[in-house]
Each structure stands twice: as C-alpha cells, then as structure tokens.
Amino acid sequence: NAGVTQTPKFQVLKTGQSMTLQCAQDMNHNSMYWYRQDPGMGLRLIYYSASEGTTDKGEVPNGYNVSRLNKREFSLRLESAAPSQTSVYFCASSEHRKNTEAFFGQGTRLTVV
C-alpha cells in the first residue's frame, strides 16, 4: 500500500542551487497537487495537474516548475533555490469525483541556506 511516495524526505540546499522533488502515486488518480506548508500559513497550492499532460498554476507558483511525466508521476523543480522556499512540501493525489479526498505523501522538509 504505497499510496503517494515523495522523495527526498529531507534536503538542504544552498541559495542558487537547483533540485527536483519527486512524487509518484499508485492509485491511478488523475489529479495531482504540490503544496507548500509554512508555519501559520496552512497548505498553499503551488501547482496542480488535472490529468497527464496538463498543469495549472496555484496560489504560489513563482520560482517553481512542474512536470506531469505520466499519470503516476508529478515532479516539482526549483531552478534557483532561495531562502524563501524553505518549507515543507507535500504532494497529493485524488480522483476527481464527488467525495474523493486528497491522499498525501509524507512530505519533504526543504531548507535553503
């Protein structure tokens, strides 16, 4: 029962470095999400993908890019990391019909120094 798997769990970057956060789900869901969570700010949507090959900006997309490689995988890339991107990142997936919730990965704790 893997569900949603994120890698890595922890990462420290220097300002200006790049990296890609990986996310994969094995529930055959169409929709996938990337959120960031900062203290007192709740979950803020970075990018969303309603299906393979489609992506849409969320509330806080600046500084990020995404790729929906196939139905299972949805990656988040930081091209030039900034300290403001220090956060906990969650990937989630859902099936798009009434009453289906989002399932979350375990999160990636990213620190940019």
Half-sphere exposure of 35 (CA within 13 A, CB side): 17
CB of 106 to other proteins, least distance (A): 6
Nearer to other proteins (CB atom), residue 19 or residue 88: 88
- Count CB atoms within 10 A of the CB of residue 18: 10
Q: Residue 34 in contact with residue 42, Cβ under 8 Å?
A: no
Nearer to other proteins, 81 or 105 (CB): 105
Q: State the minimum distance, in angstroms, from the CB of residue 65 to other proteins.
A: 18
What distance in Å separates the CA atoms of residue 4 and residue 35, rounded to the nearest whole number?
14
**Is the distance from CB of 92 to CB of 102 less than 8 angstroms?**
yes
Binding residues (CB under 8 A) for other proteins: these are 31, 33, 35, 40-43, 45, 48, 50-51, 56, 58-59, 90, 92, 94, 96, 98-102, 104-107
Best CA proximity match to 81, nearest among 27, 24, 20, 13:
13
For residues 17 and 45, which CB has a smaller minimum distance to other proteins in the complex?
45
Smallest distance, Å, CB 28 to other proteins? 16
Q: Looking at beta carbons only, is 69 or 102 nearer to other proteins? A: 102
Is residue 104 within 8 A of residue 4, CB to CB? The reply is yes
Q: How far is the CB of 98 from other proteins (least distance, A)?
A: 6
